[in-house]
A = this chain, B = another copy of it.
Amino acid sequence: MLNIGDSHLMKKINLAILGATGAVGLEILKVLEERDFPVGNLELLAHKSEAGKKIIFKGIEYTVKEALEDSFENIQITLVAVSSEVSKKFMPSVIKNGSIAVDNSSAFRLDDNVPLVIPEINPEEVLKHKGIIANPNCSTTIGLVAVNELNKYGNIKRMIVLTYQAVSGAGLDGLKELEEQTRAELDSKEYKNTIFQHKIAFNIIPHIDDILENGYTKEEMKMVYESRKILNKPNLLVSCNCARVPVMRSHSESITIETEKEITVEKARELLSNAKGVKLVDDPINNQYPMPLDTSNQDLVYVGRVRKDISSLDGKSLTLWCCGDQIRKGAATNAIQIAELLLEKGLV
C-alpha cells in the first residue's frame, strides 16, 4: 500500500541541465542516475557549438540542444552548470517559465533573495526561494561540511582556511591541461598553458580567480562571504589562501577554527564521526587521513588530522584537514541534493 507521505517519490520531475557537456554537467547526469532521481523530461542544454552531441542517460540517448530563451518551458528544475555570465543571461528565461534554478555559478550566491544551500547545513533555506537557489563554491561546501557539527557544538568565531585545489575546478579543460602538460614535462617537451596562468604540472599556483583590491582573490573572498551567509553569521572572521595544485579532482583544505566553547579532540572526533556528509578518517599513526585520491568519485567529505591548534592561547582552537571531490560534493551532488530537497518539501 502506498504511503501518502511518500507520494512525492512517485512524481517525475522535468529537468533541464544548462551546461550539460561540461565537467559538472556530465557529473550531474551521473549523480542523477546513481541516486535514481525521478527524472521526467530531460533537456540537455549547452552552447550552440555543443548542440547535436549525443549523451546516454539511463540507457536512453539524448541530443544536446542549443540553450535558448524558450528552452525552459515545462521544466520544473533547471540545474545550472555554466559560468556566471551565462547564468545571468539565461536566468530571466528560466524564472519566467516557472522553473526553479539550482545555480552552480557564483552569479547570485550573495543575493539576499537567493538561498545559498548546503543540504547538510541549512536545508530549510530552500523554503525561501524566489526562483533561484544557489550552490556554494566548491571549496566553501567542502570546508563547511567538514566543520558544521563542530560549529553547532562550539560556535565558530574565526576560521583560517588554506586550500590545495584540484584542476577540475577549471573544468574538463583544466583536467586535460594537467594531464597533457605533465606528460610533456616528463618527456621534456614544450606545452603551452592556456587554462591556468602558469604551468601547473609539478607546480603550485597561489592564484585562483581575479585579484581584488584587498590583495585576496575572488575565490578566497567566496570562502569569507559564503561561509557567513550559509552559517548565518554575518560577523564570522575568515581568512583564506587558495592555491591550485597538480591534483585531478579533489580539493584538500587545512582549516583552523577558533570557537566560543572549547572542543576537545575527543569530542571533535565524536561529533565528526556522526556528522552528515562526513567520513572521519583520522588514524595518522596507521597512515590514515584524508587524501585527494581517496576522496575522488564519491560524495563524502573526509576529515582527519584533528588536533588542538597549539598556537592558541586559550585552547579554544582546533586544526583539521579535509578532502572532498570538487566536481561531486563541491558541485554536482550538492545541486542534486538541493533538487531532492525541493521534491521532499513539496516545492515542485
- On A, residues with C-beta under 8 Å from B are 158-160, 162, 164, 178-179, 182-183, 186, 197-199, 202-207, 211, 214-217, 224, 237-239, 241, 243, 245-248, 252, 254, 256, 265, 284-285, 287, 289-293, 304-313, 319, 321, 323
Contact = CB atoms under 8 A, between A and B. Distances in A.
Contact of A245 (B159, B204, B313): B204
Nearest to A246: B246
Contact of A309 (B162, B239, B323): B239
B247 A203 contact: yes
Nearest to A161: B311
A202 B293 contact: yes
Contacts of A182: 182, 186
B160 A241 contact: no
Given A182-B186, A186-B183, A252-B243, A307 B203 contact: no
A214 B160 contact: no
Nearest to A211: B284
B203 A310 contact: no
Nearest to A307: B215
Q: How many chain copies does the complex carry? A: 2
A224 to B, nearest CB: 7
Given A311-B159, A319-B241, A246 B215 contact: no
B160 A310 contact: no
A197 B284 CA distance: 11
B202 A246 contact: yes
B310 A214 contact: yes
Contacts of A211: 284-285
Nearest to A282: B215
Given A186-B182, A214-B307, A284 B246 contact: no
A199 B241 CA distance: 25
A281 B114 CA distance: 39
B162 A215 contact: no
A152 to B, nearest CB: 20
Contacts of A245: 164, 204, 245-246
A159 B308 CA distance: 15
A253 B237 CA distance: 22
Contact of A241 (B217, B238, B321): B321
Contacts of A158: 311
A159 B309 CA distance: 11
B310 A205 contact: no
Given A284-B215, A292-B203, A186 B179 contact: yes
A211 to B, nearest CB: 4
Nearest to A320: B241
Given A164-B164, A211-B285, A241-B319, A203 B311 contact: no
Contacts of A199: 293
Contacts of A159: 311
